[in-house]
């Protein structure tokens, strides 16, 4: 499959993930909503890394290489790195911990995920990709 197709599929997956996060929020499933918000960022980061021909299997590698390739050079703001790392931590707490994520934390990470995927989408569109927003 072409790289541009895979990038589009990853962004579509990010869109679907944030939609699921919203639905989980409505049902009061804040831990799972936080997890979906993290995956929204993860899929968007995978897409933008693939733009550079980079693919990684480990979540930690996606996060560190997103920072290396795009944050350290100023392409994306440091706030995106902090949001991504915070979402990763919340996902682990929500998926594996016994203490649930509260509504306020979940809403914040969802808001940050929406911003994250929006900035990645804008970057990729400016790079020439045709990414329809769902």
> Per residue in 18-59, pLDDT tens?
999 999 999 999 999 999 999 999 999 999 999 999 999 999
Q: Give dist(CA 116, CA 98) in Å, integer.
A: 28
The pTM of the full predicted model, rounded to 2 decimals, is 0.95
Task: Assess if residue 33 is contained within a domain.
Answer: yes
Task: Assess if residue 132 is contained within a domain.
Answer: no
* Higher local confidence (pLDDT), 123 or 1: 123
Tokens 């962004």 identify what position?
A: 11
User: What total number of domains does the chain contain?
Assistant: 1
How confident is the model over 110-128, as pLDDT tens digits? 999 999 999 999 999 999 9
Average pLDDT, the chain: 95
Q: What is the CATH number of the domain that holds 38?
A: 1.20.120.330
Q: What is the DSSP letter of 75?
A: S
Would you say residue 68 has pLDDT above 70? yes
Q: What value does the mean pLDDT take over residues 79-107?
A: 96
Q: What is the pLDDT of residue 134?
A: 47
Structural domain boundaries, residue 84: 3-126
Task: Assess if residue 114 is contained within a domain.
Answer: yes
Q: What is the pLDDT of residue 52?
A: 94
Q: At CA 42, angle to CA 38 and CA 44, rounded to 5?
A: 120
Q: Per the structure block, which two tokens stand in for 30?
A: 């804040």
Q: Give dist(CA 24, CA 27) in Å, integer.
A: 5
């Amino acid at each position: 499959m072409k790289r541009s197709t895979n990038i589009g599929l990853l962004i579509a997956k990010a869109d679907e993930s944030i939609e699921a996060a919203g639905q989980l929020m409505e049902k009061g499933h804040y831990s799972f909503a936080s997890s979906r918000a993290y995956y929204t960022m993860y899929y968007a980061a995978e897409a933008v890394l693939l733009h550079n021909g980079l693919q990684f299997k480990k979540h930690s590698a996606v996060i560190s290489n997103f920072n290396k390739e795009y944050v350290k050079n100023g392409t994306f703001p440091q706030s995106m790195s902090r949001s991504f790392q915070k979402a990763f931590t919340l996902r682990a707490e929500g998926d594996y911990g016994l203490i649930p994520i509260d509504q306020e934390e979940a809403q914040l990470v969802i808001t940050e995920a929406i911003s994250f995927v929006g900035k990645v989408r804008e970057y990729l569109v400016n790079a020439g990709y045709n990414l329809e927003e769902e």
